[in-house]
Amino acid sequence: MNGHGYGFTVDEDATGKAYDSHLARRLYRYLRPYLAYIVLGTVCLLGSSASQLAGPYLVGVGIDKYIIPGRLEGFSTLLVLYMAVNTADFALRFAQIYITNYLGQRTMFDLRMSLFRHLQSLSLRFFDRNPVGRLVTRATSDVEVLNELFSTGLVTVIGDLAMIVGIMGAMLWLDWKLALLTFSILPVLLAVTFYFRKKLREAFRLVRLRIARINAFLQETLSGMSVIQLFNRQQRAREQFDALNLDHMDAHLKTVRNYAIFYPVMELIGTVSLAIILWYGGLSVMKGTLTFGVLVMFIQYVAKFFQPISDLSEKYNIFQAAAASSERIFNLLDKQERIPDPAEPVWCDRIDGAVQFRDVHFAYNEGDPVLRGISFEAEAGEKIAVVGSTGAGKTTLINLLSRFYDPQQGEIRIDGTDIRNFEKKWLRRNIGIALQDVFIFSGTIRSNIALGEENPALEKIIEAAETIGASEFIEKLPGGYDHELTERGSTLSVGQRQLLSFARVMYKNPRILVLDEATSSVDTHTEFLIQKALEKLIAGRTSLVIAHRLSTIRHVDRIIVMHHGKLVETGSHEELLQQKGIYFNLYQLQYKDQEAALPEA
């Protein structure tokens, strides 16, 4: 993170080399399926360039052979040919623009899909270390830069070079002395072009840098809007955004200023070149050493000569930006932080659900252990509550059992088999997870309960919701199970989101349940619904519950107490209270106030 604190890293700042053979080979793999489109687009572009070169030549011929001599015979044919050439140019340019943009869109689609598939395969450890905003930029802005390369850079640069070479060849063929005199302005033209190319590259880099900072700040601010409003930070946020927005505007204006100078200077150079042609060419026409038609050809060719040179300067910037973007994209695609599936996975038609942790050690960051030698066993169908202070390692148990991470030492077994011998997809199908922070996706109630299924049975969804007790609030929503939820289910209450997550697990009907109880306070009625739903959810399943409610703790078979990453106590509620150890202290601090609210057992 940089000094601004907006999740922006130094690799965003890179401009990249205009050409890198290694990156070019990797990009070619995405272009290879569409090689025919590249060839066809290039042919159309070369045909268009030839048509544009033919136009001035036909005008010159018309002047010298027909207009000045006053010949009408054949003049109509020349006009028809001239119109045909321009019509062909129109058709070829249309085809080239459509083909190259289609090529860019298809390649961009394939690249984005590769990125998305790769991101889905990465472990949570990768996402712990990489801001979401940066990953979104890779799949959007960086890929869009490559689209610009494919649609307006890769093929059109061939057309620009062909046009420059063709015009120079035509001018030398028509009159080499006038051509060389015209080319005398080229050193100045190239010097100006290279100077402004460098200035514009820096300006574009600043614009990309500033917009990335704005995006990162907006993502952070909009995600935390409730906190900003709660602490009355709106004015401070406005001031920060104002500074970022001003930086972006200044960077953009720098680009505008450079273009405001560059284009008039190019026009001035073109005017000087035209003046040279009119001076020397006009004198030659007067002396009879040059025809008027050839002079007109030179004037038209010079008008077409400077545009591709200017375009090549811009193409160079596109190539540099594309090189930097492709390097960032391929760096992401090269990340291999995955939880591997076994080469020969163990398959079971059905599991009983016995869970064992054997001397498990784990650290998210090297040298900072979270779990230290955890060992316990849950029999099939046994209900275990895990309690402990914040940071004791309770949630880590869920992460390891679900294989979001692998332990550095020790093993976790289900029915006596190390979970690393199961395919992750199969393992997670047999484990139901209900987390404290319930994530609701945009979509219907139905799709959120039957998460992961394309054509879920409505009857099964309703049955799961009714069993949990969620059907009461669902049926009151407009559209019922087809009610459209907004992002993260913001229109639902905390309790409703919790019940919906329980319904998800009930629909899945796993043999093993891991649950992190919500700590949020809810009203008495919702508390009662959640407790009844929880009882139904854990019934008949091996359940590992990170408990925050005394009512849950008193209904489990066993409690394990964690402290600083170690399992320090185990037993029933009454047994642990009698020991007057860590659980007793936790009870006094956290659970004792709930005792009065509970009915007598």
Number of domains in the chain: 2
Please indicate, yes or no, if residue 1 is contained in any of the structural domains: no
- Same domain, yes or no: 179 and 313: yes
**Alpha-carbon span 353 to 594, nearest angstrom:** 31
| Residue at 338 is within a domain | no
- Is the pLDDT at 17 greater than 80, yes or no? no
- Is residue 6 one of the residues assigned to a domain? no
Provide the whole-model pTM. 0.72
Residue 68's Cα: distance from chain center in Å? Answer: 64
pLDDT at 75: 86
Indicate whether 3 belongs to any domain. no
pLDDT at 521: 54
**Least confident window among 137-146, 303-312, 458-467, 521-530:** 521-530
Q: How many CB atoms lie within 10 A of CB 228?
A: 16
Asked whether residue 348 is assigned to any structural domain, the reply reads: no
* 423-466 pLDDT per residue, tens: 888 888 888 888 777 788 888 888 888 886 777 888 888 888 88
Q: Give Cα separations from 21 to 107, 144, 291 (angstroms).
A: 19, 21, 49
Q: Are residues 318 and 393 in the same domain?
A: no
Give CA–CA dist 2/244, Å, rounded. 14
| Neighbouring residues of 463: CB distance < 8 A, sequence distance ≥ 6 | none
Mean pLDDT, rounded, for 227-244: 86
Place of tokens 């009844």: 532
Q: Are residues 498 and 532 in the same domain?
A: yes
Work out the angle between the directed axes of helices 35-61 and 156-174 (0-180°, nearest 10): 30
Mean pLDDT, range 111-129, rounded to an integer: 86
Does residue 4 form part of some domain? no
264-281 tens-digit pLDDT: 888 888 888 888 888 988
Same domain? 320 vs 391: no
Claim to verify: residue 235 and residue 376 sit in the same structural domain: no
Residue among 499, 521, 402 at smallest CA distance from 448: 499
Instruction: State the residue range of the domain holding 579.
Output: 355-594
Does residue 403 share a domain with residue 303? Answer: no
36 lies in the same domain as 103: yes
Q: Pick the residue with more confidence: 280 or 532?
A: 280
Of residues 255 and 85, more confidence is placed in: 85
The residue among 287, 268, 62, 53 whose CA lies nearest residue 178 is 287
Distance CA 550, CA 588 (A): 12
Residue 342 resides in a domain: no
412 with 301, same domain? no
DSSP letter for each residue of 353-374: --EEEEEEEE-SBTTB-SEEEE
Q: In this structure, are 412 and 284 located in the same domain? A: no
Confidence check: pLDDT of 4 > 70 = no
Three-point CA angle 504, 507, 509, nearest 5°? 110
Q: How large is the average pLDDT for residues 4-8? A: 41
315 within domain boundaries: yes
CA-based max dimension of the chain? 121
Domain boundary among 280, 300, 333: 333
Domain shared by 392 and 264, yes or no: no
Shared-domain flag, residues 410 and 300: no
328's tokens: 């960032």
**Residue 152 confidence (pLDDT) above 80:** no
Residue 28 shares a structural domain with residue 151: yes
38 contacts: CB under 8 Å, gap ≥ 6: 31, 103, 154, 155
DSSP H helices in 224-233: 225-230
